[in-house]
Copies of this chain bind each other. A is one copy, B any other.
């Protein structure tokens, strides 16, 4: 499905050598494609090159990604380049997992409904029944999958089955308050984003606002990161903070933190679905204007 005014997105990575930009831009120029936006980054730490381009094809309706892959691939092979094309109007299929706190869910559904967040949300999964009505109002199937220590393996298997069934590309843990098993972490590696309610790596683990209060901090924060197999240690995509004072008890921090949590999560998701986030080891490269 193409669109007359929106660009295709090209992203790529490879080892840093002379000519990495040229191999891409020359191909686009020769094909008559028009570059609207280009950013690159050479990570000295990893020796890797990253690039992101938005381009308008020479003939929008005739553009064939398969032909692009074949023709460009012949040149990219010399650079061991991995690349990806995203069509205009493509909407990432995103599942939301949530428990009882609904501030992130409410925010995501609002932005989804109003088109701020260009995704599809085919389903919501929760270990509690509480938020079903909110899902219903948005006409999104809501799967209530309760979980206990004993039933966790079955519950997680059911989650993975649903993600498969609905052809999900991205999972958002929008305050899903369960520790994922190593098996589920592995299934979700690189395709799930979690919002943690602290400025990681500070206050990892449970009840971070209570931890923050005990330390008497003057700022609380939130961190959106990819899920990997080390709890609260996945690559960081976005962070946000909120000033607090002595008059704020833990319950106040919880309330005040909600705005920064949902805005931080949205920022991370927006970067991700716009194909701006690249992994370089445990760090993220974000090619943004």
Q: Contact residues of A with B, CB < 8 Å?
A: 17-23, 25-26, 28-30, 32-45, 58, 102-103, 106, 110, 114, 116, 137, 199-203, 215-219, 221, 235-239, 241, 245-247, 249, 255, 258-259, 263, 280, 282-286, 289
Contact = CB atoms under 8 A, between A and B. Distances in A.
* Max chain B C-beta neighbours (<10 A), residue from A40, A200, A216: A216
Contact of A249 (B33, B45, B235): B45
Given A37-B41, A246-B284, A219 B221 contact: yes
B246 A280 contact: yes
A288 to B, nearest CB: 9
Tell me the dominant secondary structure on chain A's binding face: mixed
Contacts of A30: 22
Contact of A246 (B21, B23, B246, B283): B283
Contacts of A22: 25-26, 28-30, 35
Given A21-B38, A41-B289, A246-B285, 20 more contacts: A17-B34, A19-B29, A22-B28, A22-B29, A26-B26, A35-B40, A35-B42, A37-B42, A37-B247, A38-B40, A199-B199, A199-B217, A199-B219, A216-B235, A216-B282, A217-B239, A218-B239, A245-B289, A246-B286, A247-B289
Contacts of A36: 42
A107 to B, nearest CB: 8
A201 B200 CA distance: 11
A25 B249 CA distance: 26
A235 B40 CA distance: 27
B255 A236 contact: no
Total copies of this chain within the assembly: 4
B245 A218 contact: no
Looking at A35, A38, A259, the one whose CB has the most chain B CB atoms below 10 A away is A35
A218 B21 CA distance: 26
A166 B269 CA distance: 42
Given A25-B26, A39-B38, A200 B215 contact: yes
A28 B218 CA distance: 32
B249 A236 contact: no
A203 B18 CA distance: 37
A39 to B, nearest CB: 6
Contacts of A19: 29
19 contacts: A17-B34, A21-B25, A22-B26, A23-B29, A37-B40, A39-B39, A41-B289, A43-B246, A103-B114, A137-B137, A199-B199, A200-B217, A201-B203, A216-B282, A218-B238, A219-B221, A219-B239, A245-B289, A246-B285
Contacts of A102: 114
A249 B285 CA distance: 12
B42 A18 contact: no
